[in-house]
A and B are shown apart, each in its own frame.
Chain A
Amino acid sequence: MQDELLNISCKKLRDSIAAGQISSVEATKAVLEQIKKCEGAIGAYISIFEEQALSRAKEVDNKIAGGEATGELAGVPVAVKDNMCTAFGATTCASKILENFHSPYNATAVKKLLAADAVIVGKTNMDEFAMGSSTENSGLKRTVNPWDVSRVPGGSSGGSAAAVAAGLCFAALGSDTGGSIRQPASFCGVVGLKPTYGRVSRFGLVAYGSSLDQIGPLTKTVEDCGLMMNVIAGHDPADSTSVDERTAPVCNYLDKLEEPVKGLRIAVVPGFSAGAEMGTQKAIGDAIDVYKKSGAEIIEVEMPYLDYAIAAYYVIATSEASSNLARYDGVHYGHRTENPADYIEVYTKSRAEGFGKEVKRRIMLGTYTLSSGYYDAYYLKALKVRNLIRGDFVRVFEKCDCIMMPVAPTTAFKIGEKIDDPLTMYLSDIYTIAVNLVGVPAISIPCGFDEKNLPVGLQIIAPAFTEEKLLRIARMFERETNWHSKKPSIIARV
């Protein structure tokens, strides 16, 4: 019974609550029950706001009972990745350096969730400061993949993806800088969308790679992604890089969702996709066949500059990160070392104690690539390569509606498998990373399983500010298949 409730979509839940068939308190209690059962094993959350969530749910129920107007997510229990500031609880970014940091303000995306009457259940685990592809870099705890607890949930939004997959919330917000929504969505068999850069406000999202970061939803269905986008998308005067209404107006992402895209032209990059594991390639191939059968045209293209995306990304992201993380210095907030000899040691020791290895490594890389004498060779070069990569996408989108490829070269790998060699970990971002460099939107939808019974995600990439069409394309696949209804057995078993 509880399983049935936890399996329904956000939209269905919201409609049921609005119709009085179920209360938000019931739904929230169900989620909290599930957390009691599974969270010990999965470890998706850093903080859980049990009391606050229940009282919020009660408020929403009262509003509905009183006939008051309520928001688009009224009564739906959701989770927020712990790198988005909340004025309640701590905002840790899964780092020791911010373990006890209490933000005085809410991120704009969080404000919008609250205004939509969503019930925020807790803050989810992640790779520290969003730096990682497995959530193994969390400085605070470990999260496992609900499909196989000996494996990673993906990263950096691993906690959010695992929470959605295991019914520990109905939807979650994640952030994506190099694939951090799409890859964990793929590993955990859920839907994950990275919107166009500038579509969702970054105000309150703790910055990692400022020209690459975007907040996006992780959900069970494509429709729910649209619902979340209706809530969080839009211009924010507090974010100079958020696009204005005139340049790219927001639309209702659910209006035309059921309308298929006629004459759909799909680009595939065979040489590039051939680098993935066999099980993944098969699932992707089968998925693309589904589109072919429904009448879509599959066009093979070459995107030669994609091979350089990882190099360019890691220069740009680490350069920006080295600067963004300079503020964590033990002076104004966050962890401070005890007994510093002078004020310089406040910096050097607090940061050494508070940051994990991967974070230190990326700060060092970024400091080096920006340093005097190296700026031209690395940073400036990377910005030029970025322009070349954009050229690849522009050319392809001239004759295609979208690009399809794997999300990751493998399915969820074993815990500890890639953690020893950072470069190996970086190279696994090969399919997601170019999208962030160029700023276009991309979604990962469940499209099958490999021979190990691990979920595979299909990545669909679209031109800037065409999320509405992107969701329609994704929905076409969802209508024809059942992959998104599969649930990890942990939900029933535990």
Chain B
Amino acid sequence: MARLEYKIIVGLEIHVQLCTKTKMFCGCALSFAEQANSRVCPVCLGMPGVLPVMNKQAYEYAVLTALALNCETAEFTKWDRKSYYYPDLPKNYQISQYDLPLSANGFIEIPIEDPRLKTQDQRRTKKIRIRRAHLEEDAGKNLHTAGNFSQVDLNRTGTPLLEIVTEPDMNSASEVRALAVELQRIVRYLGVSEGDMQKGHIRFEPNVNLVITKDGAEYRTPIAEVKNLNSFRALERSIEYEVQRQLGEFMETGKTMEAGNKTTRGWDDEKEATVLQREKEEASDYRYFPEPDLVPVKLTKEWLADIRGRLCELPIKKQMRYVSEYGLSDYDAGVLTAERSTADFFEEAVAAGGEPKRVCNLLTQKGLKIANERGCNLYDLRITPRGVADLAGMAETGTVSASAAVTILGAMVDTGKGPDVLAGELNLIQKSDAGELEMLVDRVLAENAKAVEDVKSGGKKSQKARGFLLGQVMQKTKGQANPKVVSEIFDKKLR
């Protein structure tokens, strides 16, 4: 049995639907449409005589994203026609970019887990190179469910798409998934796309093959392009499936990569497998040529600087910063940076004086739970970053216990009132006055002589008895005694 080792090679072709208000070349709205073919005008319908006019916002969103992906942006960019015939492409050509795309040569940093590293502080990232990112228009939809015919809906035709092509730098299914998650996070952070994979706002097509080393020689398997992936899970599973399939195919046939033997496979979610798609009779000749109906774009230095000014701190940088600067756990940093609104809220609360770890706990244990239940973000709830900062401060000084603070946050959401008002109303203000508490402790000690003895005697019983006494104090104060202060008093009296 020959020794087989292999390396997985994956490149991604990604299409991101930009969330502009209108389509790329016409004023049809991109809002939700109840009826098919209701968001169509002569331009996106490709009627005789129509002409495209570029959406400025789409171009700026594209440049913004390119900057976030560390790409070089082109000073001069132009548009090209890509010809092919398909019912959801009414002009039978797509306006896209060929030889002078608006950006190229960037990278995206993805977080990768390395189990060999001891501390979380050494979280690693990997740079995946971006070959290019360019703008093009989306096609409509063909539906094949109705019988022995197909239906065409052109509502989506003309939606602005940012096509991003990576170099084949990914070497595992989890890396591919990490890139997908990170890219989704970035485009949502920038506000250029809703990025919902299920809705098709972001589409991934991996190109997978293996480099197999057998008996000291290297073999490359033919590349497979996978389509029809609607979730991160499907993306990851499809890579895993392809690896096994290609290994098996190589062991059986020894087939290697040659010019023109790249295949296209569709992902079947039910079977959890990729299926070879009908081979086209002949490969497409897209006959690219410059789009005569559109003029080129010149990106001046001033304009570029203006767009760059809208860049925000990238989520992965933010996440790493929360760990190193605030000492948050990797997990918590990830939760807080999953969405931009959460991170913004968190940072505003910290800026208002909230202790980061306490603010984090309040948000993760209560705030985000409620927001998720209601399908909204933190800013939509009746709390403010200032309010949360104040609440964190109250927990910090011991005015309320940490668990009480969580309860108060819930009440803040319900009533819109401030934390100090609610702490009072809910009787959650901790008693921290040592004098007052000492009197109470004396009473409890007096009433529970046996327990006092047990504490003083040391040993196993001591801890239990101490806990019991603390419980008694809490009962008498209806839970409002500051356990830290009580503990200090016990230390004094129970020596």
Contact = CB atoms under 8 A, between A and B. Distances in A.
To the question of whether A and B form a pair in one complex, the answer is yes
A319 B288 CA distance: 11
B81 interface: yes
A27 interface: no
Nearest to A383: B290
A320 B49 contact: no
27 contacts: A84-B49, A101-B48, A103-B48, A202-B51, A206-B48, A207-B48, A207-B49, A210-B292, A240-B293, A240-B295, A241-B51, A241-B295, A323-B81, A323-B83, A327-B90, A327-B91, A327-B92, A331-B87, A332-B46, A332-B152, A332-B154, A333-B47, A343-B87, A343-B150, A347-B85, A367-B287, A375-B287
Given A240-B293, A320-B292, A331-B87, A372 B49 contact: no
Interface in A326-341: 326-327, 329, 331-333
A53 to B, nearest CB: 22
Contact of B285 (A204, A326, A372): A372
A81 B48 CA distance: 14
A240 B87 contact: no
B493 to A, nearest CB: 85
**Interface size band for A:** 35 or more
Contacts of B46: 327, 332
B49 A85 contact: yes
Contacts of B90: 327, 331-332
Most buried by A among B45, B285, B289: B289
Contact of A105 (B42, B150, B152, B292): B42
B50 interface: yes
Interface of A: 83-85, 91, 93, 98, 101, 103-105, 107, 202-207, 210-211, 237-241, 319-320, 323, 326-327, 329, 331-333, 343, 347, 367, 370-372, 375, 379
Given A104-B42, A240-B294, A331-B90, A323 B289 contact: yes
Interface centre among B46, B87, B150, B292 (most CB of A within 10 A): B292
Contacts of B289: 319, 323, 370, 375, 379
Contacts of B87: 331, 343
B93 interface: yes
B48 A85 contact: yes
A451 B289 CA distance: 47
A370 B98 CA distance: 14
Contact of A371 (B42, B81, B154, B285): B285
Interface in B77-122: 81, 83, 85, 87, 90-93
Contact of B92 (A206, A326, A375, A379): A326
B52 interface: yes
Contacts of A85: 47-49
A379 B98 CA distance: 16
Contacts of A370: 83, 287, 289
Interface of B: 42, 45-54, 81, 83, 85, 87, 90-93, 150, 152, 154, 285, 287-289, 292-295
Looking at chain A's contact residues, is the secondary structure mostly helix, strand, loop, or mixed?
loop
Contact of A329 (B45, B47, B92): B92
A115 to B, nearest CB: 18
A319 B91 CA distance: 15
Contacts of B51: 202-203, 238-241
Contacts of A327: 46, 48, 90-92
B53 A238 contact: yes
A105 B43 CA distance: 11
B47 A103 contact: yes
Contacts of B49: 83-85, 91, 103, 107, 202-207
A205 B51 CA distance: 9
B83 to A, nearest CB: 6
A326 B51 CA distance: 15
Contacts of A375: 287-289
A240 B25 CA distance: 10
A396 to B, nearest CB: 26
A237 to B, nearest CB: 7
A98 B90 CA distance: 15
A241 B92 contact: no
A367 B81 CA distance: 13
A331 B92 CA distance: 11
Contacts of A241: 51, 292-293, 295
Contacts of B45: 332
A326 B83 contact: yes
Contacts of B154: 332
Nearest to B92: A326
Nearest to B85: A347
A-B pairs with the 8 shortest C-beta distances?
Answer: A326-B92, A210-B292, A370-B287, A211-B292, A206-B48, A204-B49, A85-B49, A372-B285
A372 B48 contact: no
B48 A93 contact: yes
Contacts of B42: 103-105
Contacts of B292: 210-211, 241, 320
A313 to B, nearest CB: 14
A240 B83 contact: no
Given A84-B49, A329-B92, A331-B152, 19 more contacts: A85-B49, A91-B49, A93-B48, A98-B48, A103-B47, A103-B49, A203-B51, A204-B49, A207-B293, A210-B293, A320-B292, A323-B83, A326-B85, A327-B48, A329-B85, A332-B45, A332-B152, A367-B287, A375-B288
Nearest to B149: A343
Contacts of A207: 48-49, 293
